[in-house]
Structure 1
């Protein structure tokens, strides 16, 4: 490793690569602004990966060979290239969020600012949700996941190459091994953990490595295949052209390479969408397209005429700040509108993005990257990034700074009054001491709580079982015990699973419920009644409800090879089997017909934002009775079938009736929200519904 002198050499500037950057960034912006218009636009990120791998590896290969490589200068250049615009966007997002976001949203923004400043956004988002989940629309820094992957590559790859070079390893072999391993993990991971495969660096590095392989071939083997290339070019010229005036000068081959690459990108934009398993094998399309375009060289017709066009190159020059600015503007518009913004608002956001990107490039990026005082500039940028990241993290630790005028405690209390309850505590609080003592073992994801040492009622199910009783659990009332696992039906040999989950892990998670229930019935003779409560309509229909949730594609299956989504029959069979096990103990069984799903976040119904872009009325926390009945028709039919299959030995409590009338089902009562989000009850809602349940029990005649 050398010092700063002599300076790192860089590859010759190619305007067509800036043009390729423009294609990449504009496709991403188009996808985010109008996802139904360019459904595959998100593959622009994969094009960026190839470009980055090609340029960075070219720099490293060249300077290792010349003995001029310097880690210090390499990272100084990366800091001066990336930090200025990123610091500006993070600061602007924090400032806007101060006035526009509620406390829970500002807390999340603080976490994402800290993650963005630390270049670990992909890791943080990996643990939250999938890239295409609807909840991501309200994460203004979601797009920084790709910057995290690139920065992790910049940290690891130079060290690997420097180490390999110093020990006389073949850099091509090293690159091939790393690329092959990453691609293998990508293909394997997309089948078991699609979210992790999308975000994790080890399943994304192969795309950057493909750029690295191209860089190696361009530097070291450009002349090795000259004879073959000339013969191939001559043959192609003879095939394409009518006469023999076209010499074997490489132009025909270059044109075909660039045209093929461009066609692959266009096909990828058309055929790839958020419903395919991505990256997986589909990422080969944008990767190969970008590689062929770069390999064709700047003189190929597509590269020279299309990609080197002055307007296209201009977009390429501002592509980095354009990428950084576009998603916060679109996401904040979505948040303050409490719905998908109108096409006009989105067009204005895109136009403003272009203006801000150009100003950032001219007034921030260029002056800092060029000119004197490089060391001082780098030090200042490092300090500023640390400061921004620390401010974000403190805001996260302080729960989103509830003292802000945008989210006074009185407003927050209207919809966030489940804080501190069993469902929204950390997993460490989900199992109380009585459960620990009774179970004699620890279980991941299990929610187990007692309100008394001698419970009379055992409530069993998923998060909707927890929401049904968390007012009681919080107050230690009603002689209850709760056993639940989020996202799991209480079945013995069936697993509820969506594409983001691995079968073995989900099976072990869901499979603990019924054994624990049976153990409690044996160990606690005080339990006289078992109450089943789950979000039935979602499991039967296989999806969430309304604009606030993306289709979950839940399936109820027995083994990972079961690809048939026969949810209705599986739902009935699973419940009949579990209920029959309970009836063998001579216990009463109650089935809760679930409360309505309101389909939007409850907070949007209660409090207007400090400001709005449009004058649209805020949504109401209600759904029409017709829509509710259509959504729940199969679910209610399944409940009737379950009752008949168990010889009508269960009682059915219609929880929904207490929030519905003949025309609608409402989430607001007496000016307060009975919901916390789009489908879970708030503390008020839990208190209200369980109170109705207790009255219903007292009035009902027990069945024998």
Structure 2
């Protein structure tokens, strides 16, 4: 296991190629993400062989192993993290910079897999712009590297295959259970426990490779050819819709393992050992670190997820040049340094990364001086979502409570200032409590939530909302009514059924939204004459499934506003930006809407109230 294997470098080249193509365009290679699984199997195979060889010679030392892993992984990793943050200072908007720094923190401590599992899915739209998203694999590798020596050192080699098989079966069962029965696909994707079988399959083949080789050279040659075909077929047949990892992960992992144990096969000698494949394999770690960072930063700046042919060529060239540079100046250099010098330089890298991270927001403001009023939500946050502190009251507070309540999702948060301005002019007040994405209507099913934390947050908000509902005579609701919340119609129906006949529900109209985040395209709150992007504006209507529920109740009324009447230049008004992202009006935008549509809103609301 100490001999250099050119074919393994070639196998690494295949893995990084699959991942690279998948990240360029998932439609071209929908299952290219399994390149990560190939990396995990290779790691399990190689590291196990190295450790076992040293254990047999009684030369294995835990401290040497861990320092070796640090030298191999951390220096270039921290340099890439630092470069990403420096570039982000220039291209990131202030509203996004703090989240980026949080992503960098979890990546730097090799726990990004845990953190990202609580956010969007790996395949989500917002994830595709996260330049640190790919660090989840490094986090899992480092976590496993901490555990692997303990397993190999303390378990007798005689019993090791049995132990590895038991671990593979046990953790594979955990992955299958979480993926198929608990609907925790995203959590399993980022989970160390769900990925342990992949490393252990590689380790098992390293331990039992002599046994596998007894199959015979000719048979193994056929198996190697079949294994390569299997990997390529899986790369085309698997997709982000597949229940992965689950039991499907066994297929590419076994195929990779058979390629690893048969170094003399035609495939290994003539394809994976080719000098180009070996060269790419040597650069594969740097390529992996740089390629996604380049793509994500490019996507963020261009506000476009699809690359043109010219952009693909530029990304390939830039990734290769950066990888070439860091391989020879960082990776190769740090592997040869003595421990004292290594830790001195590592400390310097950590300090530089920390300083850049701390100064990130302040440095960013030098490039983008966009007031919060235009770039982020600022009104009514104390009564909203994860920033909730208390139920708030707005409008004309000089008079006694009007027993009006506003609830809903983040679009209801936007309506807080609209209704506040209407209340000041028309002498009414209201109380409000709202939630992100999931409207605080009781009864939503936990299966509709992307993770448990969001469901807990929703449940806490609903508990406070229920007390307010009892005392409200008029309830305003505003929501996007997302289609992926399958339990929403039944929850809404039950909510309306439980209200008293004297309580009136008013459904507020959703405001128009552009197809792209205008602040990202314009990069200022005053219209940039050089920006010629033509926005497609969506004027939303109530979904049929929601309208069917509302039509059943006489105390429920829908307000309709013709926003096209006065908003002619969305997402701008008089060359000033009205949105802080593609889905939400900023504070200025809410002031425009409340001012321009005061009469329409009040006429509709008063007509409704006169009926009751």
Q: TM-score range by the shorter chain?
A: 0.7 to 0.9
1:376 maps to 2:324: no
3-state SS, counterpart of residue 39 of structure 1: coil
1:182 shift after superposition: 2.1
1:454 maps to 2:368: no
Question: Structure 2: how far apart are the matches of 1:470 and 1:75?
Answer: 55
> Does structure 1 retain, via aligned residues, the 8 Å contact 2:41–2:201?
yes
Instruction: Render the CA deviation track for 1:643-665: whole Å, top value 9, x for unaligned.
Output: 54224x4332225x33x349978
* Residues 646 and 425 of structure 1: CA distance in aligned 2, closer, same or farther (over 3 Å): closer
User: Hey, what does 1:590 align to over in structure 2?
Assistant: 506
> Does structure 2 retain, via aligned residues, the 8 Å contact 1:31–1:42?
yes
In structure 1, list runs of 5 or more residues that go unmatched.
Answer: 1-9, 234-249, 433-447, 543-553, 558-569
1:653 maps to 2:567: no
> Does structure 2 retain, via aligned residues, the 8 Å contact 1:462–1:487?
yes
* Residues 466 and 404 of structure 1: CA distance in aligned 2, closer, same or farther (over 3 Å): closer
Q: Give the alignment of 1:3-152 within 5 angstroms.
A: 11-152=2-143
User: Hey, what does 2:174 align to over in structure 1?
Assistant: 185
| More displaced stretch, 123-132 vs 168-177 | 168-177
1:51 shift after superposition: 0.3
Partner of residue 666 from structure 1, selected from 570, 576, 581: 570
1:320 shift after superposition: 0.6
User: Hey, what does 1:486 align to over in structure 2?
Assistant: 436
> Does structure 2 retain, via aligned residues, the 8 Å contact 1:114–1:392?
no
Instruction: Render the CA deviation track for 1:194-235: whole Å, top value 9, x for unaligned.
Output: 2211112111111111111111112xxx25x77xx3xxx5xx
1:407 maps to 2:355: no
Q: Give the alignment of 1:517-556 within 5 angstroms.
A: 519-522=467-470, 524=471, 527-536=472-481, 539=482, 542=483, 554-556=484-486
In structure 2, list runs of 5 or more residues that go unmatched.
Answer: none
> Does structure 1 retain, via aligned residues, the 8 Å contact 2:383–2:433?
no
1:421 shift after superposition: 4.3
Instruction: Render the CA deviation track for 1:499-547: whole Å, top value 9, x for unaligned.
Output: 7346xx877765677776554344x3xx3311121113xx2xx2xxxxx
* Residues 75 and 461 of structure 1: CA distance in aligned 2, closer, same or farther (over 3 Å): same
Instruction: Render the CA deviation track for 1:302-323: whole Å, top value 9, x for unaligned.
Output: 1111111111111111111111
Question: Structure 1: how far apart are the matches of 2:340 and 2:510?
Answer: 62
Q: Give the alignment of 1:416-435 within 5 angstroms.
A: 416-419=375-378, 421-422=380-381, 427=386, 429-432=387-390
- Number of aligned residue pairs: give it: 596
> Does structure 1 retain, via aligned residues, the 8 Å contact 2:418–2:593?
no
> Does structure 2 retain, via aligned residues, the 8 Å contact 1:414–1:606?
no
RMSD: 3.3
3-state SS, counterpart of residue 505 of structure 2: strand
* Residues 676 and 455 of structure 1: CA distance in aligned 2, closer, same or farther (over 3 Å): farther
TM-score by length of 1: 0.77
* Residues 470 and 293 of structure 1: CA distance in aligned 2, closer, same or farther (over 3 Å): farther
3-state SS, counterpart of residue 480 of structure 1: strand
* Residues 328 and 108 of structure 1: CA distance in aligned 2, closer, same or farther (over 3 Å): same
User: Hey, what does 2:495 align to over in structure 1?
Assistant: 578
| More displaced stretch, 325-334 vs 175-184 | 175-184
Question: Structure 1: how far apart are the matches of 2:502 and 2:167?
Answer: 61
> Does structure 2 retain, via aligned residues, the 8 Å contact 1:16–1:304?
yes
> Does structure 1 retain, via aligned residues, the 8 Å contact 2:302–2:521?
no
User: Hey, what does 2:205 align to over in structure 1?
Assistant: 214
TM-score by length of 2: 0.88
> Does structure 2 retain, via aligned residues, the 8 Å contact 1:608–1:618?
no
Question: Structure 1: how far apart are the matches of 2:168 and 2:345?
Answer: 33
User: Hey, what does 2:275 align to over in structure 1?
Assistant: 310
